[in-house]
Structures are given as C-alpha cells and as structure tokens.
Amino acid sequence: MMKTQNKIRFTLLTILLISSLTNIFAQTKAVKLKISHLTGDFYIYTTYNAYEGSQLPANGMYLLTKNGVVLFDTPWDTTQFQPLLDSIKTKHNKNVILCIATHWHSDRTEGLEYYKQQGIKTYTTILTDELSKKNNKKRAEFLMSKDTVFNIAPYSFEIYYPGEGHTADNIIVWFSKEKILYGGCLIKGADADDLGFLGDANIEQYETTLKRVEKKCPDPEFIIVSHSDWKNINSLKHSIKLASKLKKKNAG
Ligand SMILES: [Zn+2]
C-alpha cells in the first residue's frame, strides 16, 4: 500500500501530466486554426498549409449577421472545415449560412463542396467556376454573373471584379459603410517582397487592376490580405508599387 504522502505526490504528478498534455493539444489546435477579432461583427480566421517548405498562413473572414454567419473564402487546411464551423457555433451560437470564394485557387475554394453538403449556400463568379472546373478544384452551388450587392441585415457589401491580377478571376469584397476591403490574394502584405505566386497571374494587367480597387474602395480602414498581417493599411499601395515594378521588369 502507498503511504498517504506518496499517494498525494502521485496524484499531483498525474494532474500535472494531464494538464501539460492538455496544454500541448490545445496549442497544436491553436496553431491549426486561429480566430482574431477585426472590428464589430467582423472576424478573421487563419489556417495553415505547407508552401515552399514552410507553413504559410491563409486568412479568411467571417461576419456575424442577424440571419447567421457569412464566410469569406474557406480554410486552406482541409482538416479545419468543420472545426471552423464548430468554433463559430461555440463562440457566437450562430450557424454559417453563406460562403463566398474570391478566386479558384485551393486556399480560397477547398471547402466549397464540404460546406455545400452542410447546407451552406456557396457562391463564386461564373469565371471562377469555369477555372475551378478546368483545374479540378471544388465548385460552388450558386454563380454570380456580374458584380453583386449582398444585403444581409444589418450589413450590405459588394462583390467587385477589378480585372485580372493574381488570377484571371480574382474578386474583392467592399464594405463601403464599414470601410473594410477584403482583398484576398490579389493584395499582398505591406511588408511583402514580391507579389507571391505568379503562375496564374496577369503581370501586364496587375497594376491597373489594383488601381481599380483603389478607386473603387476609397480610404479603407481595414484591408484584409490572404497571406500576411492585415494590420498595416499600406498593403494596397505597396502592392501597386510591386506590380508597377514587375510590369516594367517584364517589359524591359
Ligand atoms: Zn492565395
């Protein structure tokens, strides 16, 4: 039989071990899906995937409305489709009702079919759908044929296609009242060295396209970019500079 003191020690050790294990699991989970408050009813969610040998973050956004939650893009990490829905439900006691993907690459569209199966209304433009089909990517249920305004009480936002840039189909989302520009992969971080993956990009048009975004979305208070921190508002101006340099380099 164990002496009482030994018993207590054993119990304490067990508690310590369990709590440290719980911590480790909690940390692993936190690294896979991160949710940050942006402003008001707006939240940024981040998942991660391997890209050129390191873990690259991919940001999406969600908005709480009276009718439910609107998701902008889907997680890149395929293990996080349901955890994102669960986290939103736990945090806000609301279901996701709608999901809009901003271009055909996997870091935006990967969860579209899964979310459709969960009864969420999924949207892309017709152009995105054509490219998704061609490239064997997941596709949305509903298609937009032109720039579209969504009114989901109490919010209103516009889907805007500014032309080719990161891809042929990239769209942005503009909240004119809240001054939030959701730029997706078209806009790079204020500290970015380059415009990132250009395999499907239009180098000739990129600068012009970004300038259209600048004109469409005057004085944004927030600019959400896919793969960098969104806290620096210079991201759009910096991306225009990078695109201008790239165009000149390409021409020369
Ligand atoms: Zn991307």
Distance 108 CA to ligand 1 centre (A): 7
Q: Which H or E run includes 249?
A: helix 235-251
Write down the pTM of the prediction: 0.87
Instruction: Check pLDDT > 80 for residue 140.
Output: yes
Stretch 10-34: mean pLDDT: 61
Instruction: Kindly state whether residue 217 falls inside one of the protein's structural domains.
Output: yes
User: In which order are the strands placed within the sheet that holds 54-64?
Assistant: 33-39, 42-51, 54-64, 69-72, 96-100, 121-125, 142-144
Stretch 219-246: mean pLDDT: 97
| 106-137: pLDDT as tens digits | 999 999 999 999 999 999 999 999 999 999 99
Distance 58 CA to ligand 1 centre (A): 7
Instruction: Kindly state whether residue 15 falls inside one of the protein's structural domains.
Output: no
Q: Which of 101, 118, 121 lies closest to 110 in space, CA to CA?
A: 101
**pLDDT band at residue 30 under the 50/70/90 scheme:** very low
pLDDT of 14 reads: 61
Number of domains into which the chain is organized: 1
pLDDT of 156 reads: 98
Q: Is 166 helix (H, G, I), strand (E, B) or coil?
A: coil
Instruction: Kindly state whether residue 206 falls inside one of the protein's structural domains.
Output: yes
User: In which order are the strands placed within the sheet that holds 155-160?
Assistant: 148-152, 155-160, 172-175, 180-184, 222-225
Distance 191 CA to ligand 1 centre (A): 16
Question: Which residues are within 5 Å of ligand 1 (an ion), measured at CB?
Answer: 107, 185, 226
Distance 139 CA to ligand 1 centre (A): 17
* Cα 173 to Cα 43: distance, rounded to the nearest angstrom: 15
| 172-220: pLDDT as tens digits | 999 999 999 999 999 999 999 999 999 999 999 999 999 999 999 999 9
Locus of tokens 């004085």: 219
**pLDDT band at residue 252 under the 50/70/90 scheme:** confident
Distance 197 CA to ligand 1 centre (A): 8
Instruction: Kindly state whether residue 5 falls inside one of the protein's structural domains.
Output: no
First to last CA, the chain: 85
Distance 187 CA to ligand 1 centre (A): 10
Instruction: Kindly state whether residue 12 falls inside one of the protein's structural domains.
Output: no
Distance 113 CA to ligand 1 centre (A): 18
Q: Which H or E run includes 55?
A: strand 54-64
Distance 21 CA to ligand 1 centre (A): 34
**pLDDT band at residue 82 under the 50/70/90 scheme:** very high
Distance 186 CA to ligand 1 centre (A): 8
- Helix axis angle for 206-216 and 235-251, nearest 10°, is 160
* Cα 187 to Cα 132: distance, rounded to the nearest angstrom: 21
With 0-12 / 13-18 / 19 or more C-beta atoms within 10 angstroms meaning exposed / middle / buried, residue 250 is exposed
Distance 24 CA to ligand 1 centre (A): 29
Stretch 141-155: mean pLDDT: 98
* Structural tokens at position 18: 């369990």
- Within its chain, how far is the Cα of 104 from the centroid? 13
Please give the residue range of the domain that contains residue 52. 32-251
Q: Tell me, what CATH number does 80's domain have? A: 3.60.15.10
Distance 61 CA to ligand 1 centre (A): 14
Instruction: Kindly state whether residue 11 falls inside one of the protein's structural domains.
Output: no
Instruction: Check pLDDT > 90 for residue 13.
Output: no
Is 123:100 a contact under the CB 8 Å cutoff? Answer: yes
Instruction: Kindly state whether residue 26 falls inside one of the protein's structural domains.
Output: no
Distance 12 CA to ligand 1 centre (A): 47
Q: Who has greater pLDDT, 252 or 181?
A: 181
**pLDDT band at residue 6 under the 50/70/90 scheme:** low
Instruction: Check pLDDT > 80 for residue 3.
Output: no
Instruction: Kindly state whether residue 158 falls inside one of the protein's structural domains.
Output: yes
Distance 8 CA to ligand 1 centre (A): 53
